[in-house]
Amino acid sequence: MSSVTVRVPAKVNVQLSVGPLREDSYHDLVNVFHAVSIFDEVVAKESESITVRVNGKWSDQVPVDDSNLAIRAARALAKHAGRTYGADLVINKDIPVAGGMAGGSADAAGALVACNELWGLGLPLEDLMEIAGDLGSDVPFSLIGGTAVGTGRGEQLSELPTGGTFHWVFAPATGGLSTASVYAECDRLRQASGAEVPWPQLNDSLMEALGTGDAYALGSNLSNDLQAAALTLRPELGPTLDAGRQHGALGAIVSGSGPTCAFLAIDATHARDLAESLTATGAARTAVAAHGPVQGAVLI
């Protein structure tokens, strides 16, 4: 096979509970991932070495050197197989970069699936998940998609049943936010408050809303412990969230470490209207309607 194409989705965190800072500088998390219909495509072509090129939206913001997570994924897969392989990776980008929607992790997952097929390795999902967990906390979820809760650093996944389709609007902000800087700000704010940080717990009401497909209940239970830090670093996100609520969003939240804002809509029509209202009023530079849950990395 000379070329393989994999489609992989973005995610939104419908719950992101962050525990106290650990000695290894990580945090224990309860992280409820939800895959949504904004996709990158990763194309893997035969080559003598592992390289990457990026096309589409946000392409000028994606590194193409050894720091690119898709390159690291392909190299980790080759190392796991115990052989030297090559692949020319072409990423067709539609997921915002450094936007809290796991775009880099999605590309890494896409590279794992694409190179596994291109190189004829035939490795099972369990092996790919193990490699993914070493690459980053969000990469394993990008492989499976759907809705799942991640614990530990977020990489220990349990799939969650979802009783229906949820409709969303995403408003990417100009410029990104580094995950590390948002976590550091979260720690700073907590230390300054002096309050004890509770151990993260899964929200039972959120679980019930997901299981029954109740968008109204889900909207009222969205939560993100990183949101205060993201708003401190990017105060302009506050008015965007407020505007979404004023235009009827059932819930408004910063996605992951931000700065993308996520709005839960009633249905597909409401999502389209909400996206149009956010851009027409200038509350968001751009807004995209999407739905979830959707499948993770898949060959197309």
- What residue numbers does the annotated binding site for ATP cover? 96-106
154 vs 141: CA distance, rounded Å: 9
CA distance 194 to 16: 21
User: Catalytic residue positions?
Assistant: 11, 138
Q: For position 237, what pLDDT does the model report?
A: 96
Distance (Å, whole) CA 100 – CA 93: 15
Q: How far is CA 128 from the centre of its chain?
A: 18
Is the distance from CB of 28 to CB of 22 less than 8 angstroms?
yes
Per-residue model confidence as pLDDT tens for the chain (300 residues): 799 999 999 999 999 999 998 888 889 999 999 999 999 999 999 999 999 999 998 888 899 999 999 999 999 999 999 989 999 999 999 998 888 999 999 999 999 999 999 999 999 999 999 999 999 889 999 999 999 999 887 678 999 999 999 999 999 998 888 889 999 999 999 999 998 999 999 999 999 999 999 999 999 999 999 999 999 999 999 999 999 999 999 999 999 999 999 999 999 999 999 999 999 999 999 999 999 999 999 999
pTM (2 d.p.): 0.94
pLDDT at 98: 82
Phi and psi at 82, nearest 5°, equal 75, 25
Residue found under tokens 């980790």: 76
DSSP category for residue 60: G
193 forms bridges with which residues in the sheet?
A: none
What pLDDT score does 154 carry? 66
Burial code of 79-98, b = ≥16 C-beta within 10 A, e = fewer? Answer: ebeeeebbbbbbbbbbbbbb
